[in-house]
Amino acid sequence: MFKDLITKRQSARSYLPTPVAREDILKCLEAAQKAPSACNSQPWHFIIVDDPDLKTKLASALFSGPYVMNAFACQAPVLAIVVSEKSSFMAKIGGYFRGTEFYLLDIGAAIEHFILAAAELGLSSCWLGWFNEASAKKILNIPKDRKIDSVISLGFSNETLREKIRKPLEEISSFNSYGMKEKR
């Protein structure tokens, strides 16, 4: 059931050294591929780093210095690097007039599909936004005109499920007007 899946999914901060099957990674990528995007532009490219030597080199570069708070991700056997690709012309025009970077919404949807698929497969993940982009671009030969928007650590974890502390629905939603409370 979907509700169970979204309750089970949490950001992992420790990983076991167990390798992740390529077949499972492909299932996560297939889920990301099916994410919606403005004008179907699909402005994402996932670089999967599962070679242990390359992953160690990359993780050391990504999560050192001021980025050390995310060094736990170095334990993960897989890192998924999410690179922005060019949006369609219509998505860019719409974004310009709306003042919204639709490609970021699109990438967010693709990443959420990826990490939910991982959770369904019994994998743990953490969606990261604080990392050394310049080092990663050099190591992975990413063109200068591309941006790494996120990194996903992926693997198996033996962490116990934590209670999710969330604001009440009344604080994050309303019906028919901003701030209107539902009458029960």
Contact between 80 and 114 under an 8 Å Cβ cutoff? The reply is yes
Give the burial class of 127: count Cβ atoms within 10 A of its Cβ; 0-12 exposed, 13-18 middle, 19 or more buried. middle
Q: How far apart are CA 77 and CA 169, in angstroms?
A: 36
Question: What is the rounded distance in angstroms from the CA atom of residue 82 to the CA atom of residue 86?
Answer: 13
pLDDT in tens, 19-55: 999 999 999 999 999 999 988 989 999 999 999 999 9
CATH classification of 2-172 is 3.20.140.10, yes or no?
A: no
Residues 131 and 71 sit within 8 Å (Cβ to Cβ): no
User: Is-above-0.85 flag for pTM?
Assistant: yes
The tokens for 161 are 């499920």
Compute the C-alpha angle 154/156/161, nearest 5°.
Answer: 105
Q: Are 151 and 107 in contact (CB under 8 A)?
A: no
Angle at 83 between CA 82 and CA 89, to 5 degrees: 130
pLDDT in tens, 135-180: 999 999 999 999 999 999 999 999 888 888 999 988 988 888 887 6
